[in-house]
Amino acid sequence: MVLGVGTVLVIIGAGLAVGLSALGAGIGVGIAGAAAAGVTAVDPDKFGMSLVFQALPQTQGIYGLLIAILLLMSTGVLGGTPEDIPVAVGLAALGVGIAVGFSGLSAIGQGIAASNGVAVAGRDRSAIGKGLVFSVLPETQAIYGLLVAILLMAFTGMFTGVYTIADAVGFAAIGCGLAIGLAGLSAIGQGITAGAGIVASARKPEVMGRALIFAVMSETFAIFGLLIAILIMFGIGLIGGA
Amino acid sequence: MFLPLEMKKALIGIHEDYKPAVIAALHEAGIMEIAGIRESRSDIAAMLAEEERSPELDRCAKNIQRLSAILDAMREARGIAPVSAKDILFPAPREKIPVQRRTLHDICLDVKKILPETRHALDLQQEIARIRERFGKLRIYRETMGALAPFDIDIGYLGTSGYLDIIPVSVEKPAFEEFAVRLLGAGTGGCTVTSVPSDGMHIAIISVLHEDIDRIRPLLRDPAVSILEYEAAAGTPGEVLGRIESECRDLAAREEEITASLAAIDEKYGKNILSLLEELTIEKERMLTYLHLGRTAKTVVLEGWVAARDTDRLEEICMAAAGGNGFVRFRDPAEGEEIPIEYNNPSWLRPFEVVTTMFSRPRYDEIDPTIFTAPLLIIFFALMLGDAVYGALIVLIGWILRNGAGTFSPPVRDAGTILMVAGGATVVSGILQGGYLGDFLPRFFGIAPPFVLINALESPVRFLQIALVIGVLQINLGLVIAAYQNLRKKQIRSFITDQASWFMIQPAAAIFLFSFFSWAAVPAPVQWAGSALGIAGVALVMQRQGPLGVFHLTGFLGDWLSYARLLALALATGGIAMTVNILTQMVAGDHPLQIVAAMAVFVIGQTFNFVLQTLGAFIHSLRLQFVEFFGKFYQGGGKGFQPFMVRRDVTKLFGDD
């Protein structure tokens, strides 16, 4: 089997997607798990509830795995025969991996929020729902990363196997990935605010709405990244008619 | 349905002789939330004296305490019975104990009769506690004797004698040599150490003169060293061990005997005690309610909240219980009063009220969002999960909850209903997305699923477009509701700056996007009109919010793009299920072991995906309601209506079914 440069770049993209997001998910799950272990030590009946909170930051790892599988399938490395992939598409795949991988580090923020969620819900069962809603906030950045990745894959022909993009477009796709991937790290700040929101709304349930407003503020910077990623796609002709 | 139930403030005055009867009737009816009249804003509050605390209340509390202690003793003897999965899913109906309506005096007479016959349970409970404490000690002594068995010395020599202290210790093996050296070099006149290795430890017996004991004490406090606990006894460790075993057998037999005695008391009096406890608790609640009342010389006055639809019934109940010797007045809530909130939804919508409550109950003058949230929550859940087999499994789980534990527990029944509806919608969504355990049908059987409209994995961009259209619709629904609320309250300024501004910005943004991305040819006049509309809308937002208006603009964009999670979750469900199927294919082969391994990969993988994605779909669907939708029109913060109501878990009144 001979692997061309394009195919190798796609494989590196898949590695970045799953590797970075698994790193984020692992740290996030670890942070939430530490709190979960403490709560379960005090009350073993809280094991199931604690496990639910600990599972939340796993999703980023799943997004990374999903994109890695889709990238590998698009090259035929998985479930087919490896094809010769143009270098431009390989570069775009690198952008895809960066988008999902870095935004997958948002799981760290989610882990911080989930650890507060499990601690509060451990004392007050009625706080489980609110804790879950706050804990899920920092996942939005990962969803934006996944969104950009899917758009890049769709518009560079990775789903259809029809490749028409130029090398320069592939490089620009890396810019898209960096824009949304690094902006996705804003989720760490959001996780800190969301964690405080969980505590605040447990103490005073009627402030939940206002605490949510504080918590979604950090998302603004992820939107900046998303906006720039979409504008780059437009600028290089992947979206629209430029 | 759109607003919480209309409430009235009720003022009730009765002759003092009828106080117990009226309070009991209100308690049984459970339609009024009683408020403390002396702290209220009522006009007559200042004229009323405080109702005195009844001495009967202490008598009642004392009897509750005594019966609870006896019940605890009997329960302790019973222990925790093993519970099967069937018991959890389909619990047997609990038969309620029929009781007569009677006075506190009669209940206390029954308590007086039952106490002498059951008080013995407390002595038995204490004896069991002593036995268990002794068991604990014997377990430690048994370990010590086991460790000392190789020494074959008389245990009677251990401890302090005329000149010597003889101390048995265990030392961690790696630390033993250093310990022994330090011990012998501690400057004692005479110290001997005899030791044997045992299971990662060294068991040692240290003999030291009295005057030297303080020299070796710091060494015995080393974390690697433990002084073995023992009880003064004569004979070799083997002989003492035999006596310990014999005492353990005697104690176990006695514990069994006591447990049987407690079980016999439980069998004979358990139900009676439970029903007396519940009757006493009900009486106590009534007497505590007296403290919220006010009084004049002969009249007792109470105040509280009642649903407007129950006013006639409340008046009828009060006047019947007071024999016509009283009055009932109703008034509308005054401004600034904290009005309790009771939902006003049809029965089919009630299971979904828990979703709104999870965020916060509506305020009295605020639209209850349950009617909007319920269908959207289900649709989003179904779109995100999008697998017919997963949906069918959720229907099955919901059915089990509804028809099992839900038969006795309304919250479980509601959860079962929500799951059945959500599961049903997921089945439909799964069929339309062609998801049957991911791509199981085409991958393993080459069958193309019928009725497929859209598959997130095959047409992600189309799916995204649908998600964003849904987002626009829901966000605008929220804005329309907010606009309606502002117009209803004549808050025109808020309407213009908070809602009309967005109704101007959105079409302008649409014109801009179509023109910028060249999706359609937009005539110049339309572009100019759009720009003017957009600038005016942004100006209104900035005028209202100041510099923070920038965050409102990006926040609105974020709210809209947040609906991309519908695609993300749908992709994750289908994609991970597909990955599991691929792995299954890779593991599978001709050898039977490979088939077993492939089946294990398939079952574990699909179960993992089902659990995780179901949880994810539910939480993300909730988030879209709470953050993106509620953020546009809903504040909440209402206090739940808590009627003064009898709760009978183990008893039922004669004639009540």
- The confidence score (pLDDT) of residue A240 equals 59
- Tell which phi-psi region holds residue A92, choosing left (phi > 0), alpha (psi between -120 and 50) or beta: alpha
Amino acid of residue B339: I
Q: Do A147 and B622 touch (CB under 8 A)?
A: no
Does residue B413 fall inside a structural domain?
Answer: yes
Residue A113 CB burial class (10 angstroms; 0-12, 13-18, ≥19): buried
Query: Quick one: tokens of B76?
Result: 């302790």
pLDDT tens, residue by residue, B423-455: 999 999 999 999 999 999 998 999 999 999 998
Question: A71 or A125, which is more confident?
Answer: A71
Does residue B323 fall inside a structural domain?
Answer: yes
- Chain B residues in contact with A220 (beta carbon < 8 A): 551, 554-555, 558
| A55, A62, A220 member nearest B576 (Cβ) | A62
pLDDT tens, residue by residue, B92-136: 777 888 888 888 889 999 999 999 989 889 999 999 999 999 999
Q: What is the mean pLDDT of chain A?
A: 89
Tell me what the mean pLDDT of segment B269-278 comes to: 92
Domain match, B335 and B384 both: no
d(CA B278, CA B284): 10
- Confidence check: pLDDT of B509 > 60: yes
Here the CATH number for the domain that contains residue B225 is 3.30.70.2750
d(CA B486, CA B652): 49
Domain match, B335 and B449 both: no
What's the angle, vertex CA B371, arms to CA B370 and CA B373, rounded to 5?
Answer: 60
- Confidence check: pLDDT of B78 > 80: no
Q: Do B582 and A79 touch (CB under 8 A)?
A: yes
Q: Do B360 and A208 touch (CB under 8 A)?
A: yes
- The confidence score (pLDDT) of residue A227 equals 82
The secondary structure element, H or E, covering residue B194 is: strand B191-198
- Confidence check: pLDDT of B359 > 90: no
Q: A132 vs chain B: nearest CA distance in angstroms? A: 7
Domain match, B281 and B193 both: no
- The confidence score (pLDDT) of residue B656 equals 57
Q: How confident is the model at residue B420 (pLDDT cuts 50, 70, 90)?
A: very high
3-state secondary structure B266-322: HHHHHHHHHHHHHHHHHHHHHHHHHCCCEECCCEEEEEEEEEHHHHHHHHHHHHHHC
Query: Which range among A236-240, B43-47, B123-127 has the greatest average pLDDT?
Result: B123-127
d(CA B645, CA B33): 9
Tell how many helices (H) and how many strands (E) occur in chain B.
Answer: 22, 13
Does residue B85 fall inside a structural domain?
Answer: no
Pick among A66, A132, A239 to test the B interface (most B CBs inside 10 A): A66
3-state secondary structure B103-157: CHHHHHHHHHHHHHHHCHHHHHHHHHHHHHHHHHHHHHHHHHHHHHHHHCCCHHH
Tell me what the mean pLDDT of segment B65-83 comes to: 79
Does residue B83 fall inside a structural domain?
Answer: no
Q: How confident is the model at residue B655 (pLDDT cuts 50, 70, 90)?
A: low
Does residue B1 fall inside a structural domain?
Answer: no
Q: What are the angstrom distances between the C-alpha of B380 and each of B30, B371, B563? A: 38, 15, 10
**What is the dihedral angle through the alpha carbons of B615, B621, B623, B628, rounded to the nearest 10 degrees?**
170
Q: What are the angstrom distances between the C-alpha of A134 and each of A28, A111, A125, A182, B591? A: 15, 11, 15, 22, 49
Task: Name every residue whose Cβ is closer than 8 Å to that of residue B464 and which is 6 or more positions away in sequence.
Answer: A147, A150, A151, B564, B567
Among candidates A8, A101, A116, which has minimal Cα distance to A53? A116
Tell me what the mean pLDDT of segment B257-270 comes to: 90
Closest-CA residue of chain A to B464 = A147
Tell how far CA B169 is from the center of its chain: 48
Residue identified by tokens 């706080």 is A127
Pairing mode, strands B201-209 and B326-331: unpaired
Total domains, chain B: 4
Contact B425, B379 (CB under 8 A): yes
Question: B377 or A167, which is more confident?
Answer: B377
- The confidence score (pLDDT) of residue B520 equals 82
d(CA B210, CA B188): 10
Domain match, B479 and B563 both: yes
Q: A240 vs chain B: nearest CA distance in angstroms? A: 5
- Confidence check: pLDDT of A17 > 70: yes
Does residue B86 fall inside a structural domain?
Answer: no
- Confidence check: pLDDT of A80 > 80: no
d(CA B493, CA B217): 82
Domain match, B212 and B296 both: no
d(CA B124, CA B113): 20
Residue identified by tokens 């109906």 is B93
* CATH level 3 topology of A5-235: Four Helix Bundle (Hemerythrin (Met), subunit A) (1.20.120)
Q: A231 vs chain B: nearest CA distance in angstroms? A: 10
Query: With the C-alpha atoms ordered B248, B254, B255, B260, is the resulting torsion angle positive or negative?
Result: positive
| A55, A208, A216 member nearest B555 (Cβ) | A216
Here the CATH number for the domain that contains residue B649 is 3.30.70.240
Give residue B248's domain range: 54-78+91-135+244-291
- Chain A residues in contact with B358 (beta carbon < 8 A): 129-130, 133
B119-124, long-range: CB < 8 A, 24+ apart: B119/B70, B120/B261, B120/B265, B121/B70, B121/B73, B121/B74, B121/B262, B121/B265, B122/B69, B122/B70, B122/B73, B124/B73, B124/B77, B124/B258, B124/B261, B124/B262
Q: What are the angstrom distances between the C-alpha of B502 and each of A23, B313, B470, B539, B627? A: 40, 47, 17, 11, 17
Domain match, B99 and B160 both: no
- Chain B residues in contact with A219 (beta carbon < 8 A): 555, 558
Q: Do A226 and B561 touch (CB under 8 A)?
A: yes
- Chain B residues in contact with A66 (beta carbon < 8 A): 571-572, 575-576, 579
Amino acid of residue A96: V
Q: Do A137 and B579 touch (CB under 8 A)?
A: no
pLDDT tens, residue by residue, B511-540: 998 888 777 888 989 999 999 999 999 999
B581–chain A Cβ distance below 8 A for any pair: no
- The confidence score (pLDDT) of residue B545 equals 80
Tell me what the mean pLDDT of segment B463-479 comes to: 94
Tell me what the mean pLDDT of segment B264-287 comes to: 92
Paired residues of B169 in beta bridges: B204, B227
- Chain A residues in contact with B635 (beta carbon < 8 A): 209
- Looking at chain B, the whole-number percentage of residues with pLDDT higher than 90 is 50
Among candidates A30, A185, A208, which has minimal Cα distance to A134? A208
For B460-510, give the DSSP string. Answer: HHHHHHHHHHHHHHHHHHHHHHHHHHHHHTT-HHHIIIIIIHHHHHHHHHH
- Confidence check: pLDDT of B213 > 80: yes
- The confidence score (pLDDT) of residue B646 equals 92
Q: How confident is the model at residue A79 (pLDDT cuts 50, 70, 90)?
A: low
Closest-CA residue of chain A to B566 = A143
Domain match, B301 and B284 both: no
Query: What's the ipTM?
Result: 0.75
Domain match, B151 and B31 both: no
Q: How confident is the model at residue B189 (pLDDT cuts 50, 70, 90)?
A: low
d(CA B81, CA B88): 13
d(CA A211, CA A195): 10
Query: With the C-alpha atoms ordered B64, B65, B68, B69, is the resulting torsion angle positive or negative?
Result: negative
Q: Do A208 and B558 touch (CB under 8 A)?
A: no
Does residue B42 fall inside a structural domain?
Answer: yes
Question: B570 or B196, which is more confident?
Answer: B570
CB atoms under 10 Å from CB of A41, counted, come to 9
Amino acid of residue B131: I
What single-letter DSSP state applies at residue B43? T
3-state secondary structure chain A: CCCCHHHHHHHHHHHHHHHHHHHHHHHHHHHHHHHHHHHHHHCHHHHHHHHHHHHCCHHHHHHHHHHHHHHHHHHCCCCCCCCCCCHHHHHHHHHHHHHHHHHCCHHHHHHHHHHHHHHHHHHCHHHHHHHHHHHHHHHHHHHHHHHHHHHHHHHCCCCCCCCCCCHHHHHHHHHHHHHHHHHCCHHHHHHHHHHHHHHHHHHCHHHHHHHHHHHHCCHHHHHHHHHHHHHHHHHCCCCCCC
- The confidence score (pLDDT) of residue B568 equals 84
pLDDT tens, residue by residue, B582-612: 889 888 877 888 889 999 999 999 998 999 8
CB atoms under 10 Å from CB of B548, counted, come to 12
Among candidates A146, A154, A168, which has minimal Cα distance to A235? A168
- The confidence score (pLDDT) of residue B141 equals 92
Domain match, B457 and B409 both: yes
Task: Name every residue whose Cβ is closer than 8 Å to that of residue B348 and which is 6 or more positions away in sequence.
Answer: none
Question: B382 or B99, which is more confident?
Answer: B382
The secondary structure element, H or E, covering residue B206 is: strand B201-209
- The confidence score (pLDDT) of residue B42 equals 66
Contact A100, A149 (CB under 8 A): yes
- The confidence score (pLDDT) of residue B142 equals 92
Among candidates A48, A61, A177, which has minimal Cα distance to A108? A61
Residues 534-553 of B with CB under 8 A from A: 551
- Confidence check: pLDDT of A242 > 50: no
Q: Helix-strand-coil percent breakdown of chain B, rounded to 5?
A: 65, 10, 25
> Domain map of chain A by residue range?
5-235
- Confidence check: pLDDT of A236 > 90: no
Among candidates A185, A156, A147, which has minimal Cα distance to A85? A156
Tell how far CA B103 is from the center of its chain: 36
CB atoms under 10 Å from CB of B378, counted, come to 20
The secondary structure element, H or E, covering residue B609 is: helix B592-623
- Confidence check: pLDDT of B404 > 60: yes
Domain match, B530 and B547 both: yes
d(CA A98, CA A111): 21
Domain match, B513 and B473 both: yes
- The confidence score (pLDDT) of residue B79 equals 64
Query: Quick one: tokens of B227?
Result: 């002084």
pLDDT tens, residue by residue, B294-327: 888 889 999 999 999 999 999 999 999 999 999 9
B442–chain A Cβ distance below 8 A for any pair: no
Domain match, B354 and B461 both: yes
- Per the document, the length of chain A is 242
